[in-house]
Amino acid sequence: MLVAIPDLLTREETAYIRQTLESTPWVDGRATAGDQAAGVKKNLQVPLDSPIGQELGQIVLRALARSPEFTTAALPARILPPMFNRYDEGMAFGAHVDGSIRALPGTGQRLRTDVSSTLFLSDPEDYDGGELVVHDTYGEHRVKLPAGHLVVYPATSLHSVTPVTRGARWASFFWTQSMIRDDWRRHMLYDLDRAIMRVRSHMPDQDPAVSGLTSHYHNLLRQWAEV
């Protein structure tokens, strides 16, 4: 399931993050890649221990907390602190699958990467190329969203970033351990929740159709959730 979430960040938040990153040191992105991914990865990242990166990551986490769209799409249990990357001209990330387990910095705990997220910090007209390409059983999905917009997709998907041929593509990226491990079940719950929202826009909450669908949603969540 691939879901685009518009305007996760406000214009002011996007501008502040971009302005702050302009003066932030960057390192080779291969430092955080696994063996397979490192061979096809060519980009830059803000160091994991950067206080500025951690501050900006908190802005992203607060934006996620106020987003019902992200909650219903990802059903988050835990979120890895957001990181930041950039692709300058000639940089790309070949087809790969994200590592299944990531360490939570400073905690000794680990997180299962069920959902991948890319938060765009550059507008599409600022660069050529740089599309996120997600491969699934239905083919290729190319994603290039306005700054401040988020896309979430299964971390199990083969995906890539096409070469940047002009300008620079800046983004935040992170992983979520979902309460629902299985993507198909997560997809069904997402579709059901969206249907409930549409029904509620036409009927009162006391209507049996609304209460029946809502009960069904929560009973499925209760049956499948890992918390």
DSSP letter string, 118-172: EEE-S-GGGEEE--EEEEETTEEEEE---TT-EEEEETTSEEEEPPEEEE-EEEE
Can you give the pLDDT of all 227 residues of the chain as single tens digits? Answer: 999 999 999 999 999 999 999 999 999 998 766 666 668 999 999 999 999 999 999 999 999 999 999 999 999 999 999 999 999 999 999 999 999 999 988 888 999 999 999 999 999 999 999 999 999 888 899 999 999 999 999 999 999 999 999 999 999 999 999 999 999 999 999 999 999 999 999 998 889 999 999 999 999 999 999 98
Q: SS3 helix, strand, coil % of the chain, rounded to 5?
A: 35, 30, 35
Collect all residues with Cβ–Cβ distance below 8 Å to 162 and sequence separation of at least 6: 92, 129, 130, 131, 133, 142
How many CB atoms lie under 10 A from the CB of residue 121? 24
CB 76 within 8 A of CB 189: no
- Say how far apart CA 190 and CA 76 lie, in whole Å: 13
